[in-house]
């Protein structure tokens, strides 16, 4: 059972805000916790405005990219769009393809995860030369790919890098243009923007430069929203504006292919970030995990209903294969953890099996890091006979700095502070694991307290209802940095109608005092059923959501934890 920690807030500021907004004090408490301190800030928060997006020209490297693209347009140069195999790279590819198609002769390529691995490869540069491309736009990669960049320069092929990954220390990539908010001397106010967000910024500036008034620019924000969901980027500031309007465009005038996919997935509308993360994102990632990401790109860029339908069927087949492989590896992991019971004393959960498919390791590392509350690294064996895999860590911790400190034993690595990939020789694994464990132990010993459930506010249970939800959902889109608020209510008891579901979950009907029963769901709460049914009072922390079932929607609470 985790600790509960009530988030602090400035009560004076909250009271001033309540006087200005004339809403229930709990909403003002939530706003202050989200750095909203006055009426104007509240107005901007509740009405995200495209006019408040940062100007593209604040990005270092953008002028050089625009100049090179202007040159390519004037000459009609064939251009290769090269994108990483995940959804962020895929979304960035679609954005620039939608803008540049019919303007330039284009080709596109995504890497084979199992043959070339992550990033701009020598193979990609050789492919560009073979199809007579004189310009490559590298999307969601390129910042660390010095070998491929050197070859491109030798062959006379210019490269524009549009990336948001961390750069190698003291090694700037040599390219025609580098658009990366994490590069030195770049003062772009939003370093957490995704690669698709950067591609949109480039497209926005290019449309303005070339005066392409007919270009369908703003609806492309739906792809930016998809990338923000996929990369679990913080939904604050500019990212929240991008997500809000991306979801709006997806709802009101979503691209046909995305609408078809959502219908097949049977995802209810209106769309939200959670629906994208658990629906569209794993589906579009599946080809890159199980075969070749080119399948997903071909589907999204296909022209003609017949071709698109064929690619869509393949997409769903690969997603089914991904699910099966993922569950098999997860069962394998659970068996290993049961057989080797020393993991609770470790700072790191590191598991390696030669037969594990590389494509599903990132998903599972993320799942395990949440379940175990510590960094997780899962490795499989690639075709070169090396260990290769993915690492993830819980919110509030960092994995990349610790890996960088042990990088002498690695063949390659890269990523973000909490999500990364790496490769090392088989004989280096034991030494690397020991070094990484030591680094993480030091980091954790001087780091934050053990993870607790953050409670936004204590709530009178009787407040829950349509009126309360109508205002609460304006805090959306929810995600990292702007989570769906977590509430705590005290002295609840069963109304007598709660029941078990599949001997695993609970459908709860709870009341506080003499109030009306409120309905909710409690996943994996079966162990608490008898105590709940005893009618003894307890405290509950929970979130609110709209539940959609058979065309109907209803408000319910989703239990997070319980204390008797």
- pLDDT single digits (tens) 451-478: 689 999 999 999 999 999 999 999 999 9
Residue 360 has pLDDT above 50, yes or no: yes
Q: pTM for the complete prediction? A: 0.90
- pLDDT single digits (tens) 25-62: 999 999 999 999 999 999 999 999 999 999 999 999 99
Tokens found for residue 388: 């290769």
CB proximity list for 547: less than 8 A, separation 6 or greater: 521, 553, 554, 555, 556
CB proximity list for 513: less than 8 A, separation 6 or greater: 491
Tokens found for residue 278: 């658990």
Share of the chain above pLDDT 90, in %: 81
DSSP H helices, 466-552, are 466-472, 529-533
CB proximity list for 255: less than 8 A, separation 6 or greater: 219, 222
Tokens 């930016």 sit at which residue?
A: 224
Nearest to 326 by CA among 366, 298, 274: 366
Q: Between residues 457 and 443, which one has the greater pLDDT?
A: 457
Q: What is the DSSP letter of 70?
A: H
Which pLDDT value is given to residue 1? 64
- pLDDT single digits (tens) 259-288: 889 888 877 677 899 999 999 999 999 999
Which pLDDT value is given to residue 2? 79
Tokens found for residue 176: 């025609």
Q: Between residues 450 and 84, which one has the greater pLDDT?
A: 84
Nearest to 456 by CA among 541, 545, 562: 541
Q: What is the DSSP letter of 7?
A: P
CB proximity list for 324: less than 8 A, separation 6 or greater: none
Highest average pLDDT, of 59-73, 159-173, 446-460, comes from 59-73
How many other CB atoms sit within 10 Å of the CB of residue 326?
Answer: 20
The beta strand positions in 291-418, using DSSP E, are: 349-352, 376-381, 387-392, 412-415
| Domains present along the chain, CATH in parentheses | 56-314 (3.90.1640.30), 343-445 (3.10.310.30), 453-563 (2.40.50.460)
Mean per-residue pLDDT over the chain, rounded: 93
The beta strand positions in 363-504, using DSSP E, are: 376-381, 387-392, 412-415, 419-424, 453-455, 457-458, 487-494, 499-501
Which pLDDT value is given to residue 47? 96
- pLDDT single digits (tens) 95-153: 999 999 999 999 999 998 888 878 999 999 999 999 999 999 999 999 999 999 999 99
b/e map 464-481, b = 16+ CB within 10 Å = beeebeeebbebbbbbbb
Which pLDDT value is given to residue 520? 97
Which pLDDT value is given to residue 448? 46
């Amino acid at each position: 059972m985790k600790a509960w920690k009530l988030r602090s807030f400035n009560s004076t500021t909250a009271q001033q805000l309540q006087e200005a907004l004339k809403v229930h004090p709990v909403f003002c408490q939530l706003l202050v916790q989200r750095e909203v301190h006055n009426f104007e800030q509240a107005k901007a928060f509740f009405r995200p405005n495209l006019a408040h997006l940062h100007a593209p020209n604040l990005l270092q490297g953008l002028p050089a990219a625009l100049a090179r693209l202007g040159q390519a347009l004037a000459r009609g140069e064939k251009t290769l769009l090269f994108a990483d195999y995940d959804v962020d790279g895929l979304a960035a590819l679609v954005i620039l393809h939608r803008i540049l198609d019919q303007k330039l002769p284009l080709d596109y390529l995504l890497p084979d995860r199992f043959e070339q691995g992550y990033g701009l490869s020598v193979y990609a540069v050789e492919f560009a030369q073979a199809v007579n491309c004189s310009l490559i736009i590298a999307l969601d990669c390129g910042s660390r790919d010095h070998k491929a960049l050197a070859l491109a320069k030798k062959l006379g092929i210019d490269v524009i890098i549009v990336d948001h990954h961390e750069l190698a220390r003291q090694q700037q990539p040599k390219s025609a243009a580098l658009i990366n908010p994490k590069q030195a001397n770049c003062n772009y106010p939003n370093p957490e923007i995704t690669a698709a967000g950067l591609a949109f910024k480039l497209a926005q500036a290019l449309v303005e430069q070339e005066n392409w008034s007919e270009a369908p620019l703003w609806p492309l924000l739906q792809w930016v929203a998809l990338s923000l969901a996929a990369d679990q980027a913080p939904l604050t500031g500019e990212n929240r504006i991008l997500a809000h309007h991306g979801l709006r465009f997806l709802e009101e005038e979503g691209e046909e292919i995305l609408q078809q996919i959502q219908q097949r997935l049977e995802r209810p509308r209106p769309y939200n970030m959670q629906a994208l993360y658990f629906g569209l994102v794993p589906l579009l990632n599946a080809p890159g995990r199980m075969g070749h990401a080119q399948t997903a790109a071909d589907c999204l860029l296909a022209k003609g209903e017949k071709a698109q339908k064929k690619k869509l069927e393949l997409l769903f087949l690969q997603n089914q294969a991904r699910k099966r492989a993922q569950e098999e590896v997860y069962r394998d992991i659970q068996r290993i953890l049961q057989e080797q019971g020393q993991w609770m004393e470790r700072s790191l959960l590191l598991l390696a099996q030669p037969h594990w498919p590389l494509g599903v390791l990132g998903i599972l590392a993320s799942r395990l890091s949440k379940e175990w509350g510590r960094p997780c690294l899962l490795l499989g064996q690639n075709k070169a006979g090396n260990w290769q895999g993915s690492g993830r860590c819980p919110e509030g911790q960092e994995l990349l700095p610790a890996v960088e400190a042990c990088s002498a034993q690695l063949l390659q690595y890269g990523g973000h502070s909490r999500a990364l990939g790496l490769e090392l020789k088989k004989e280096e694994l034991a030494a690397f694991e020991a070094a990484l464990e030591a680094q993480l132990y030091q980091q954790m010993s001087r780091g934050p307290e053990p993870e607790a459930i953050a409670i936004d506010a204590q709530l009178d249970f009787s407040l829950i209802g349509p009126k309360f939800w109508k205002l609460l959902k304006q805090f959306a889109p929810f995600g990292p940095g702007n989570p769906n608020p977590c509430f705590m209510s005290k002295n609840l008891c069963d109304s007598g109608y709660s029941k078990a579901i599949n001997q695993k979950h609970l459908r709860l009907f709870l009341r506080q005092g003499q109030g009306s029963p409120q309905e909710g769901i409690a996943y994996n709460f079966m162990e608490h059923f008898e105590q709940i049914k005893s009618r003894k009072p307890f405290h509950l922390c929970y979130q609110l959501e709209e539940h959609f079932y058979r065309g109907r929607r209803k408000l319910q609470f989703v239990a997070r934890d319980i204390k008797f």
